[in-house]
Structure 1
Amino acid sequence: MQSETSKESRLVLSFYGDDFTGSTDAMESLTINGLPTVLFLEVPDQSVLRRFPHIKCVGVAGNSRVMSPEEMKQELPSIFKGLKSLGSEYVHYKVCSTFDSSKTIGNIATVLEIGQEVFDSQVTVPVFVASPDLRRYTVFGNHFAAMGENVYRLDQHPVMSRHPITPMSEADLRVLLQDQGLAGRIELINVVDLEQPMEALKLTFKGKVSEESKAVVFDSSRKEHVDKVGELLALSRYSDEPLFLIGSSGVGHAISAVQQASIVEVSKRPAFKEVDQLLVVSGSCSPVTEQQLQWALTNGFEGIHLSLQEVMDDKNGQAAMQNIVDKASEIVKHGKSVIIYTALGPDDPSIKENQRVFRERGASISESSKILGSYLGEVAKLVIQETGLERLVVAGGDTSSYATRQLGIYALEMVTSISPGAPLSRCHSDDPRLDGLELALKGGQFGSVDYFGKVLTCAPNSVQA
């Protein structure tokens, strides 16, 4: 039986995002489908939730994508228990639609096992990574992602196969989970199964899922598949307790397809502001972000390249940071938008130089996201406080997770879609200088070539990268 707290909240879904850009992606997919969502930085209590009586879903933005399995085991159980206590119908561990993970970093098999411990009445965990609206597809268990006009198998994707921390060398999601340590049977509902009439599909699903099944992976290549997966997820609920599942923002689309009783018209979504200038901070080394930065720098934005030496300057650290803030503030005072970036694409020589500096200092390369992201977040906050800028973009999935935590905000609410997976949001903060700040968090692979221009004008996506 659900608690009085859960009855009061009446939530359809609660989720934890393994990074901040993925969390805003999940918030967008739920909100645009009629399930208003607020994204928090910590699991909210009922006193905080009462500030948002209109919402149907709650998200918590995290950074487990860069955690080791040991760190996950320390961090995630309490978060999952907190989400479980909210009494939603589903609890979703949100992963990137390119399944960014490895055995040592962002291990999703570890997450699955933690989930089974917390949601102990549940045997099989659904895994749904496809998101056709983002051009991410799963076919016979193998995952595919688009870039530009082409669609690539995950292990041949120009970005994900070269990811600096979690390069993807396997496309079969079942093999990936087994390689990450998941023991036991993994079932698959494939695209042929999904072409069946719904009643036949339900029988197929029941026949594949048993006490021996640790997980079930769902294919999907189009919206009709997503809708059917939503029905199967509803069928998977074992009791009044939430169903724990793992997947991309496609989960939001699937669940909203079967939640017609909960769908609401989102007529009072916050309106975006009219602004003339934009601050961008970027820790991304994606070729997509490279094209976007190059577009901006040739279309009126002014850039400041941030070196790792400046970030890690033990003697002059504060002075170096203030120098960056002063440069950016001066650009803003002259009426321009400004970009502070650490690299122009995967072939930027500064990347190898940064790796050399990390090795010399005995630091792990995987720590670079935390160091650079936190620094960029602090710089962004100081520039905003200095200049009064009202709109900010953070580029880079891992960068966003650390940078956003430096801003002094406690929640985000979607304002408008800019590009699928990278919406504009309104910040809630106890600091009046940051309350109402408009923020877009953009993963390395998302957005059109002119994405930063679109955020400035709040125009929808146009030119595909």
Structure 2
Amino acid sequence: MIGVVADDITGANDIGIMFAKSNYTVDVYSSIQSEDKQLNGTDVLILDTNSRFDEAKTAYQKVFQATKELHKRGVTQFFNKTCSVFRGNIGAEFDAMLDALDEDFAIVVLGFPKNGRKTIQGIHYVHGQPLEDSEFRHDPVHPMTCSNLVDILKSQTNRKVTNIKEGIIKQGSEILREIIYALKKDYQYVIMDVTDQADLKTIANAVYDFKILAGSSALAEELPAVIGKKPEQTLPKNVPEYHQGKGLFCAAGSLMPQTFEQIEYMRARGASVFELDSLCLLDKERFTSSKTQLLNVMVTEINQGKNVILHSTNDPLKVKETKQKAFQQGISNREISQLVSSTLAEMTKAVLQQTGQKRFVIAGGDTSAAVCHRLNISGIRVWKEIQPGLPSCISLKNDPMLFVLKSGSFGHRDFIKQAFLHLKEQLLEPGGVVR
């Protein structure tokens, strides 16, 4: 069994679909407290530590414990799934996995060409821009001001870090494997250049049997071709019905431009789009009076067959004003972000309860985690890919839900449209078979 430790829920799904596409049965849990029988037949077990926004010490402890739990359950190959632009506690989490397994070497692959991430000469690019010049430079919690991946990782670990550049990778997997073994004598982390999908195939053929792999999910797409695909995927017996005649709901808490573009795309095509005013959240009395009205309008529209999107404030000036007002009230950027996510989660639960619809879309990692927590979803089965790294999934509980959790910076302009179509089309045939 392959074991993955992921630092957020959308990242867990992101890597999960890379294996699920090859018919691996992939389960994601927020903890390992589940009964053993629920894990029977699982090919890839993923634990979401939700540690990206933690302090480094806390993140280390979470990953250390999660790795130990995976090892106890017979996992033989481990993957430390991080953000595809190295946001978060990269060094602490990589070190934690090595320490937990008493190992001292890991392959690190961050490039994800299908989602615009490339590593060239050790410099990471996002849609052609160096990381430090991309939208991630302005991340409210982890602003990325450096593009050199070796330098970023070196700043967070005492272990030695190096980079294998594209020229070596282009020479093929055999030569690459020889170089890696030579570097193992002096380095603990080897970061690979990735310029295209062919590079990922070469890397997969060179490192498929290494005990610890780390980074983005992209490498995981190529691994099954080397270690073997599965003939079929096991799906949960119960898939929630789609209430035809009613619309679908999407809650978006991401500030990324990709999500903004996806929302505007839907607005132009007739979706009902509502804003959760972040300034209003800081005035409890004002928000309490407006929340009920907003909720009633959204529920009415969904029941009338309209698709509804509720998004957090994404206007840069208003976001800045919100941060300033929050600061005056003693509220940090992280705390206001959590307030937005928890409010979106609360309203998502209310919408689903009042419409009876059990299929939905969430955009943003923090918001996705908050929604899963509010809906008491602790285990999910990764199902079908909609766009690269963006799958649907089914909750593993007696009253299941079918939903999509989207990383804020992933997806094409039409992603929400495609996600809604996917959720509407996945119906049960007679006998309970999913088509």
Q: TM (normalized to structure 1)? A: 0.83
**1:407 aligned onto 2:375:** yes
Question: Is 2:172–2:202's contact at 8 Å kept on the other side of the alignment?
Answer: no
Q: Counterparts of 1:375-390 in structure 2 under 5 Å?
A: 375-390=343-358
Aligned AA (2:385): S
Structure 2 residue aligned with 1:69: 56
Deviation at 1:388, TM superposition (A): 0.8
1:109 paired residue number: 91
CA contact (8 A) 1:308 1:354 kept: yes
Residue aligning to 1:191: 166
Report if the CA contact (8 A) 2:298-2:308 is conserved. yes
1:76 and 1:195 mapped to 2: Cα distance?
33
Whether 1:119 and 2:101 are equivalent positions in the alignment is yes
Structure 2 residue aligned with 1:332: 302
Matched with 1:454 is: 418
Kindly provide the CA deviation profile for residues 62-97 of structure 1, in whole angstroms up to 9, marking residues without a partner as x: 321111213213433222211222222222121122
**Partner Cα separation in structure 1 for residue 93 and residue 110 of structure 2:** 15
CA distance change for structure 1 residues 90 and 323 in 2, over 3 Å: closer, same or farther?
farther
Query: Which deviations, in whole Å up to 9, do the C-alpha atoms of 1:196-237 show, x marking residues without a partner?
Result: 243333222211111x4121111222333222322333353x
- The residue number in structure 2 matching 1:5 is none
Structure 2 distance, partners of 1:368, 1:88, is: 38
2:188 and 2:178 mapped to 1: Cα distance? 19
Match of 2:427? none
> Quick one: distance in 2 between partners of 1:387 and 1:154?
42
* Contact kept in structure 2, 1:129 and 1:247, CA below 8 Å: yes
Partner of 1:286: 256
Displacement of 1:175: 0.6
Determine if contact 1:272/1:416 at 8 Å carries over to the other structure.
Answer: no
> Pairwise CA RMSD of aligned residues?
2.5
Q: Structure 1 residue aligned with 2:19, among 5, 24, 30?
A: 30
SS of the residue corresponding to residue 257 of structure 1 reads: helix
SS of aligned partner of 1:384: helix
Deviates more, 1:311-320 or 1:449-458: 311-320
**Runs of 5+ unmatched residues, structure 1:** 1-10, 237-242, 461-465
CA drift at 1:22: 1.4
Counterparts of residues 142-161 of structure 1 (less than 5 Å): 142-146=123-127, 151-157=128-134, 159-161=135-137
Q: Give, in angstroms, the shift of residue 312 of structure 1.
A: 4.4
Verify: 1:91 aligned to 2:78, yes or no.
Answer: yes
Letter in 1 for 2:54: M
Q: How does 1:35-434 map to 2 (within 5 A)?
A: 35-50=24-39, 53-99=40-86, 101=87, 106-120=88-102, 122-146=103-127, 151-157=128-134, 159-179=135-155, 181-210=156-185, 212-236=186-210, 243-260=211-228, 263-266=230-233, 275=244, 276-314=246-284, 321-345=291-315, 347=316, 349-430=317-398, 432=399
Partner residue in 1 for 2:403 = 439
| Closer, same or farther: CA 428–269 of 1 in aligned 2, 3 Å | closer
Q: Alpha carbons of 1:208 and 1:379: their partners in 2 closer, same or farther (altered >3 Å)?
A: same
Contact 1:140 1:219 in 2 (8 A): yes
1:418 aligns to what SS in structure 2? strand
Superposed CA deviations along residues 72-126 of structure 1, whole A, max 9, x for unmatched, are 1343322221122222222212112222x2xxxx221111222222111x11122
Deviation at 1:133, TM superposition (A): 2.9
Q: CA deviation at 1:440?
A: 1.0
Task: Give, in angstroms, the shift of residue 178 of structure 1.
Answer: 1.6
Once residues 172 and 384 of structure 1 are traced to their aligned partners in structure 2, the CA distance between those partners, rounded to angstroms, is 44
**8 Å CA contact retained: 1:415, 1:425:** yes
SS of match in other structure, 1:335? coil
Aligned counterparts of 2:16 and 2:33: Cα–Cα separation in 1 = 16
**Aligned partner of residue 344 in structure 1, secondary structure:** coil
Conserved 8 A contact 2:61-2:96: no
Code of the aligned partner of 2:188: K
User: What is the aligned-residue identity percentage?
Assistant: 22
**Does the residue aligned with 2:273 lie in a helix, a strand or coil?**
strand
Partner SS, residue 171 of structure 2: coil
Aligned CA distance change for structure 1 residues 317 and 294 (closer, same or farther; 3 Å): closer
Q: Given residue 358 of structure 1, which amino acid in structure 2 is its aligned partner?
A: A
Aligned-pair CA distance for 1:37: 0.7
1:450–1:227 Cα change, 3 Å:
closer
- Structure 1: distance between partners of 2:269 and 2:48: 32
How many residues are aligned here? Answer: 421
Q: What CA distance in whole angstroms lies between the structure 2 residues aligned with 1:429 and 1:344?
A: 34
In structure 2, distance between residues paired with 1:452 and 1:22: 18
Residues 236, 396 of structure 2: 8 Å contact kept: no
Alpha-carbon shift at residue 257 of structure 1 (Å): 2.9
